[in-house]
Amino acid sequence: MLFQEQNSYEITSYIKKSKVAILPVGAVEAHGPHLPLGTDNYLAEELSKKLADEVGGLVLPTLPYGQVWSLSNFPGSLTLSNQTLTNLMVEIGESLFRQGFRIMTVINGHYGNAIALKEASRVLYEKFPDCKVFVMFYPGTKEIIRNVRESTPVHDSYFHACELETSYMLYLVEEKVQMEKAINDTPVIPETADVTPTPWSQFTKTAVLGDATVATREKGEKIISVALENMTRMIQQAKDELGC
């Protein structure tokens, strides 16, 4: 159920019934030749809808701007500062609390947002002790990814426009993918990239970090399903704890 499609006469009863707000947060960022700039927004939004179906929550309008540092040099990338993104989430969270929500779940579609959103979740945690705040980025998928992935990962922590993300898109928003344009570009990321500021333009020209050509809808479904299951279980547990 989409929050902004409801009207102010009916929304209160929905909030009372569910208490779970789901906020998709993405970004506008280069994703190679085969994926659109809004990839992270589409993923966050579609995953949010699926989650809402499982846990009975209300999906807020997608926040389509995020913190894009590493690819900010690339065509089409737009970025917010961490500070502004943190403030945004805190202020939306304050409104949600006033409106009666007690479980706030940010579905993050963009790795670069993680720091700002985590900071915000801590601020909200301290401000509203009787509220539960989640920030989810495909939680608990390490093992399934290890099983499903065919190409070699280029980095331990992040992935981008590659076999994984393209598969997610094929599963969740297939119509926005141009698989015929997918490429295999597997850069060697220098070890210094983890310890000194390193725009990705230093090691990739395509913004694709791996082999996107081997992506499939099925792989996407397998991984996303695990993520969704984990998210559902954790939110359900929070609902049980809060008795809602």
Q: Which of residues 61-80 bind a second copy (CB under 8 A)?
A: 61-65, 69, 72, 74-80
Q: Which is nearer to a second copy, 8 or 152 (CB)?
A: 8
48 binds a second copy (CB under 8 A): no
Q: How far is the CB of 48 from a second copy (least distance, A)?
A: 13
Minimal CA–CA distance to 135: which of 89, 81, 66? 89
109 binds a second copy (CB under 8 A): no
176 binds a second copy (CB under 8 A): yes
Q: Which is nearer to a second copy, 35 or 218 (CB)?
A: 35
- Which positions from 198 to 227 touch a second copy by CB under 8 A, shown as an x/- string? ---------x--------------------
Q: Which is nearer to a second copy, 83 or 218 (CB)?
A: 83
Q: Are 26 and 66 in contact (CB under 8 A)?
A: yes
Q: Are 99 and 65 in contact (CB under 8 A)?
A: no
Q: Which is nearer to a second copy, 32 or 210 (CB)?
A: 32
150 binds a second copy (CB under 8 A): no
127 binds a second copy (CB under 8 A): no
189 binds a second copy (CB under 8 A): no
- In the structure encoding, which two tokens stand for residue 181, read together? 């344009």
Among 20, 22, 28, 51, contact with a second copy (rule: CB under 8 A): 28
Q: How far is the CB of 204 from a second copy (least distance, A)?
A: 11
CA R_g for the chain: 18
The stretch among 47-55, 144-152, 217-225, 229-237 that binds a second copy (CB under 8 A) is 229-237
Q: Are 98 and 145 in contact (CB under 8 A)?
A: no
30 binds a second copy (CB under 8 A): yes
Q: How far is the CB of 88 from a second copy (least distance, A)?
A: 6
